[in-house]
Chain A
Amino acid sequence: MQVTRRQFFRICAAGVGSSSLAALGFAPGEALAEVRAFKLARTTETRNTCPYCSVGCGLLMYSLGDNAKNTRGKIIHVEGDPDHPVNRGTLCPKGAGLLDFVNSPHRLQYPQYRAPGSKEWTRISWDDAFSRIARLMKDDRDKHFIAKNDKGETVNRWLSTGFLAASASSNETGYLTYKVVRSMGILGFDNQARV
């Protein structure tokens, strides 16, 4: 076995380090091994479903605090639900990373508005947003609504505004969205299943 001078130096250093440090008072008693504290001990556990693909994996979401009045729960960890018949606790790289989706720095925070020709967003209130959108929709609908076609048949449709529904919103959202969109007579209505 070839050992260079430098290597030998390192070997010796290691040897001295070990024994001598111990002898000089870095006693093992002070170097007690302790694993990292288990971080979920008293977090609140909530059952959920992964929002990505259609396997529908069960999730356990852990949030800070015990839901007491004076706490604001923040999700600090997500893992698979072992009771779930399909994923049995497993999660793929997307599901396993959901913590960073929920807490993404790219989550929108408040309503924003971009004026025609503008290069920037401005912050607006929900009330302003809803009122302005409702005004635009009603004006467009009133102007372009088609009650009868060329043959005089009743068709009651609104084609100049369209709606793309989501891919991961709940059935409850989807059902309410359906009621709202179709009641206005919109036909240009699709969800992500189309593409």
Chain B
Amino acid sequence: MALQSLDIKARSATTTPPPDVRARGAVPVAKLIDISKCIGCKACQVACMEWNDLRDEVGTNAGTYDNPRDLTAQSWTVMRFSEVEVEQDRLEWLIRKDGCMHCADPGCLKACPAPGAIVQYANGIVDFHEEHCIGCGYCITGCPFNIPRISQKDSKAYKCTLCSDRVAIGLEPACIKTCPTGALVFGTKDDMVLHAEGRIADLKERGYSHAALYDPKGVGGTHVMYVLQHGDKPELYANLPRDPSISPLVSLWKGVTKPLMSFGLGLAVFAGFFHYVTAGPKEVEEEEKTD
């Protein structure tokens, strides 16, 4: 049922091409995040948790409004608050909703060694299927935005699904629907680019001469885009990467090791792989530290 509306474009660690006969009825969709309209109310965080049956820990306050402080396996989106004075005596409170960007060229999917654990649908959604996830954490390496998180509970990777279960039946994602100010908008990618143009014109009229759309080409464009008041300074927004690209590690695998692997590295490395599967990502990090 779901597959009819969400045709598969790509699957992790899979050489078999997906069925490709349909005329791509599913048009590419996009979420547009207009930071100039975002009040940081965190309704999207709540809607995300509520819809996806997640409940993060009740944490502490670390002296900021950011809470939860970072993305977790239970918090697939968080607000990042920045107080900046781009112009003298003109304070701005820039609040960026952080979460999966649903890259057209998804580094996570490229890096993922588990067949079918990461799927890209024809409409652009990049979805994790945790039942196939082996918890290796490669998706984190592959992600230029540092989004996926491995759960402490089941050692599997989690992130925003763009509410693929809602989109599959024709609904908008939960965060989009709830957004009180209309900072979040959802539609076809083309419509969202158009909408952004209107917003950028409005911002320019209000004195934000560098207002721009953030749809970075280094990852083939994204299905989650930002309207930035200061398009020339993305780093103002809690270090939004200026020019994100897929980690060279993933490119290397794609370009060099793939043919090599078939001949040489075979079983020895295969054992190493299963080490990841059984020991989990935490130990991987420890190993890395010893390097």
Which residue numbers of A lie inside 8 Å of B, CB to CB?
Answer: 1, 3-7, 9-22, 26-39, 77-80, 82, 87, 89-93, 95-97, 99-100
Contact = CB atoms under 8 A, between A and B. Distances in A.
Interface in B114-158: 114-117, 119, 121, 127, 129, 132, 134, 136, 138, 141
Contacts of B178: 79-80, 89-92, 95-96
B228 interface: no
B2 A93 contact: no
A9 B169 CA distance: 42
Interface string B196-240: 000000000000000000000000000000000000000000000
B113 A96 contact: no
Interface in B240-262: 248-249, 252-253, 257-258, 260-262
Contacts of A91: 43, 47, 178, 180
A7 B253 CA distance: 11
16 contacts: A3-B249, A11-B249, A12-B269, A13-B276, A15-B261, A15-B269, A17-B270, A18-B12, A18-B14, A28-B115, A31-B14, A33-B129, A35-B161, A35-B164, A90-B180, A97-B46
Given A11-B252, A16-B266, A38-B169, A21 B2 contact: no
A121 to B, nearest CB: 25
A21 B115 contact: yes
Contacts, number: 175
Interface residues of B, number: 65
Given A9-B269, A34-B3, A35-B165, 12 more contacts: A6-B287, A10-B141, A11-B252, A17-B114, A28-B14, A34-B2, A79-B47, A89-B178, A90-B177, A92-B41, A92-B43, A96-B50
B288 interface: yes
A15 B8 contact: no
A96 B46 contact: yes
Contacts of B177: 79-80, 82, 89-90
Nearest to A82: B177
Contacts of B182: 90
B2 A1 contact: no
Contacts of B42: 93
B291 interface: yes
